Structure formats: C-alpha cells, structure tokens
Amino acid sequence: MPALSKATEYDFGPAFRYTVEYSMFGVLALGAVIATVLQFAINDGNYYEMINAGQNALGGVRGWRRWHTCLVMAVIAAVFTWLFPTVENGFYVVAGWSSIVLPCVTVVMCVDHFLLPRFLPNRRPMDTIPSWRGAGLANWPGIVAVLAAVAFGAWNLGLFPGQAGAPSIGLPAVEAWVAAGVIYAGLAGIVGRGDRSATVLGFGRTVEAVDSGRGNR
C-alpha cells in the first residue's frame, strides 16, 4: 500500500488513507474504527502473552500473584510506548521484531515436536503439563537457535539501535525462520544423543526418569 500510494517509508497517513479508499470505498470513519479495534485486539493478545511469560518466570516466587505480573507488564509496555520517538517509526519497529521473534520460536517448537523424534530417542510429551518443580530448566539449543536467528533477522531488517542501514538480503524474516529451524536441528542432533541430552534439551523430570530407566537396563 505505501508503494501504491506513493508514500515515503514512514509516511503512515497517506498509506492508511489510500488503504481505506482502496478497500473500504473511501469511508474514512469505518477505517478508523476498524484500525482502533484491531489495535486493541492485538495489544490485548500481546499483553496476555507477556503476562503468561512473566508468570512462568516469577510464578514460583513465594507471595507472588498474577496481578503483580499484570502490573509489571503494564508498566513495561507504558515505558516502551513512551520511549518510541514517533508513532510511525515505532509501528514499523514493532512489526519488524514481531515478524522474526515469535515465528522463530514457533519454528523451533515445530522442529522439536515433528522432526527431532525421527532421529532422537526422546519425544517431548504433549499430553501433560509438568509442575514448576518438575519442568526442565531450559532448552539450551532452542535458546541459542532463537537468539542467533533473531539477531540475524534484526540485523537484516536494520532494527538494532544505531544501525546505519539494513542490508535486506533476500527475505529477512523468512531467512530468520529457516535459520532458527536449521540451527536448532543441528544443535539438538549433536547434543541429543549424549547421556545428559534430556537435561540439555530441557525435558521434564518424567522424561529424565524414563531415560535413566533405559540406561540401567
């Protein structure tokens, strides 16, 4: 739409007006209502994800309640909103990070569930949710894969603060997704056959106990 409207890179207003004229028969008020509703819906979903992530990290602290996490995440969101120099620039920055971070994590999860069991002895159980004490510490190959892929994607999109320009080699977001899957598959394949593979890959205690039983036979 920016190209069709002949708008510049961060000229959000003309691009939005052209979108309304193109797909909503020029009813600007309808476009404003839909855009506002979508922003509330998107931010509500993001807020829910932030709360779940924070609760997973802090929920085991004695005396910590979910409303504490809600308050902390609301403050973090407010600070980030205030720090954005302009709404237009902030919109593109958030869209850029969102196009690589969440999909990279999803790709790692898909590789872990559908690909790794084909050549590794363990399968991560999906039918039970382990307790906080029974969960593994971290899936280290997955974390490394996501960080490496996100760093490459962010560099390719020019998202790092102070970055002079974006090289834009190919399709940055898609390349980051592929890199996350390939890196994770490679690292997991290397460490997945060792004696402590369940620990390194972040399996819960139930899987580790099954592995120990196999090893003692």
Full pLDDT tens readout for the chain, 217 residues: 455 656 665 666 676 677 777 777 777 777 778 878 877 777 778 888 889 989 888 888 889 999 999 999 999 988 877 877 665 567 778 888 889 998 999 999 999 999 998 888 777 877 777 777 777 888 999 999 999 999 999 999 888 888 877 786 888 999 999 999 999 999 999 988 877 888 888 887 765 544 444 444 4
Residue 192 and residue 128 in one domain: yes
- Rounded Cα–Cα distance for residues 94 and 97 (Å): 5
Residue 64 and residue 130 in one domain: no
The pLDDT of residue 213: 46
Residue 54 and residue 134 in one domain: no
Residue 76 and residue 97 in one domain: no
Residue 68 and residue 160 in one domain: no
The most distant pair of C-alpha atoms in the chain lies apart, rounded to whole Å, by 73
Residue 217 and residue 161 in one domain: yes
Only one residue has tokens 């708008």, namely 7
The pLDDT of residue 93: 81
Residue 109 and residue 61 in one domain: no
Query: Which tokens in the block code for residue 134?
Result: 């029974």
- State which of 53, 83, 113 marks the end of a domain: 83
Residue 135 and residue 198 in one domain: yes
Query: Which tokens in the block code for residue 183?
Result: 């890196």
- Rounded Cα–Cα distance for residues 165 and 163 (Å): 6
Question: CA 186 → CA 27, 56, 100, 159, 172, distances in Å?
Answer: 52, 27, 20, 27, 21
- State which of 83, 105, 121 marks the end of a domain: 83
Only one residue has tokens 């280290």, namely 140
- State which of 83, 101, 136 marks the end of a domain: 83
The pLDDT of residue 170: 85
Residue 108 and residue 62 in one domain: no
Residue 53 and residue 159 in one domain: no
- Rounded Cα–Cα distance for residues 35 and 48 (Å): 20
What total number of domains does the chain contain?
2
Residue 197 and residue 103 in one domain: yes
DSSP code, position 114? I
The pLDDT of residue 139: 92
Note down the domain range covering 167.
87-217
Of the candidates 208, 65, 190, the one whose C-alpha atom is nearest the C-alpha of residue 124 is 208
Residue 68 and residue 143 in one domain: no
